[in-house]
Structure 1
Amino acid sequence: MTPAADLLDRADHYVRRTMVGSIATFGRAIQLAAAASLFGAIDMIRGRFPIRDFVTLTWFVITVTAPPTVLVSIPFGVIVSVQAGSLTQQVGATSISGAAGGLGVIQQGAPMVAALLLGGAAGAAVASDLGARVMREEVDALRTMGIDPISRLVAPRIAAMVVVAPLICFLTIIMGLSTGYVIAVAFQDVAPGSYVSSFASFASFTDIAIAVVKSILFAFVVAVVACQRGLETKHGAKAVADSVNAAVVIGVVAAFALNLVITQLTTMFFPQRIL
């Protein structure tokens, strides 16, 4: 076999192996999401859901995501306000700067900030915790005692991240809109009444509802990916670090891809209208 043919054969083998592995990983993620949702619902109905763990995890997710949310929302609001204000000033439409900046924060900024922070902070923590439990053989010990790790470990973590996601979304919206208003009024000579009226004319509760739904879906996807990578941690010195890295990257990329699909669907079925 010539070197060129050997290189092509290796490349073909790598592509096939990667595609098969990706499809298998996606299938396991779907199974984990379905099992966690089912077990969580059944445990809630039977009163066996680990409420104490859920509350502890929820508070932990809030503590690791709330400060970064504020720190990210302020510069994000400044950037959106400056870019939107510069564009509206060039075309002589400063009266709609509030709508341009506000809708950017609500429709795209808040859900994506929630996805990034949940994936980068909470998701990494969940993956490292579950990976460490696998390394210490705690997950195998739960199975030996007849306790399903999905019901005991995965379900409360997914529920905690899903509950916190709307809070992060609302916090981002409040901080982003407040910062945009201050920048527009104080530095871009936009009248306060004009800013508020233009925002009120274009924004609606539908936009906020869509943003909240998007943040919940992103949190669910990020949580499932983090739990899956944590439970599938292999033994070795770099195993936990590899699981955390994969959880953050895959979770954030999946959230961005899902955001693209949801944005296209909402644009088709909920077009922007002036109220």
Structure 2
Amino acid sequence: MLRTVRENFSDTVVSSLRTFGRAVGMAQESVVGAVGDLARRELQWREVILQAWRLVTVTTVPAILMAIPFGVIVSIQVGNLIHTLGADSLLGATGGLGVIKQGAPMATGFLLGGAGAAAIAADLGARTIREEIDALHTMGISPVHRLVIPRLVAMVVVAPLLNVLIIFVGVLAGYAVAIGGQGVTPGSYWATFGSFTTTADVWMSLVKALIFGFLVVIIACQRGLEAKGGPRGVADAVNAAVVLSVVSIVCVNLLLTQVTAMFLPTRLA
């Protein structure tokens, strides 16, 4: 019994490492290929625009619906805390920093890792099951250049835009709650928001969203291209893409937060 458990565990670890290696290889090939296609002006802009539009259509409305309650929750919870400390005027700074530094990039990553990853994995998984990927190999066409790179470029473009949208909606929602329910004056809210929120915070938020989008598209493309077993395989690929994307985003966000806290501590603008 113990031997069987040990063998299963070792097989799982080896399989995970091999999967990770293939993902790293696909990421490297995709980045190098995208740069080369841009330099040679061979990038499939029509496919990029189509994929970007698909991502926008499946994430924009959920992003707004997620940003509003998040901004409200941050404003209420932080507002209650600082109210007990007698620092109501700092609500703009704390609420804005919460949305910009953590809320917006995490919400962006989760939306892209949910709706975006599911759409990409389902599309590529269905193509794999229908043997379209094998047909591309037969014709000498690289699936990475034909299918992965346009989705990668689209995701890199959409992720920061989605992050900006969530920041805008989340900050406005927090502002409305602070003014209407917390008794904060508009002037003090925006004054503290501008004093503590720096351009470095906004740029770091955009960089986080960019990294999360990159992780999502690589994981989703790999899971889709490696789907097997018929329609059940497509469903498994979608499920694996979503779960792995969310877990990767959480782990990478923890690492980036620690690095940011060390090198870019919160300070007055």
How far the C-alpha of 1:17 sits from its partner, in A, is 1.3
- TM (normalized to structure 1)? 0.96
How far the C-alpha of 1:10 sits from its partner, in A, is 2.0
1:202 matched to 2:196? The reply is: yes
What does the per-residue CA deviation read over 1:235-259, in whole Å, with 9 as the maximum and x for residues that have no partner?
A: 2341000000000000111011111
- Counterparts of 1:180 and 1:39, CA distance in 2: 42
Kindly, what percent of the aligned residue pairs are identical? 49
- Counterparts of 2:231 and 2:171, CA distance in 1: 45
- Counterparts of 2:182 and 2:43, CA distance in 1: 52
How far the C-alpha of 1:218 sits from its partner, in A, is 0.3
Q: Which moved more, 1:228-237 or 1:259-268?
A: 228-237
Q: 2:104 aligns with which of 97, 100, 110?
A: 110
Name 1:22's counterpart in structure 2. Answer: 16
Gaps of 5+ in 2: none
Alignment of structure 1 residues 204-219 onto 2, 5 Å: 204-219=198-213
How many residue pairs get aligned? The number is 269
Q: 1:130 aligns with which of 108, 124, 127?
A: 124
Name 2:164's counterpart in structure 1. Answer: 170
- Counterparts of 1:234 and 1:42, CA distance in 2: 31
- Counterparts of 2:175 and 2:244, CA distance in 1: 35
What does the per-residue CA deviation read over 1:119-140, in whole Å, with 9 as the maximum and x for residues that have no partner?
A: 1111100000000000010011
Q: Which moved more, 1:49-58 or 1:38-47?
A: 38-47
RMSD of Structure 2 on Structure 1 (CA): 0.8
How far the C-alpha of 1:83 sits from its partner, in A, is 0.5
- Counterparts of 1:105 and 1:224, CA distance in 2: 26
- Counterparts of 2:167 and 2:263, CA distance in 1: 23
Name 2:3's counterpart in structure 1. Answer: 9
What does the per-residue CA deviation read over 1:156-191, in whole Å, with 9 as the maximum and x for residues that have no partner?
A: 011111100011100000000000000001011111
Name 2:137's counterpart in structure 1. Answer: 143
Name 2:240's counterpart in structure 1. Answer: 246
Gaps of 5+ in 1: 1-5
Q: 1:41 aligns with which of 27, 30, 35?
A: 35
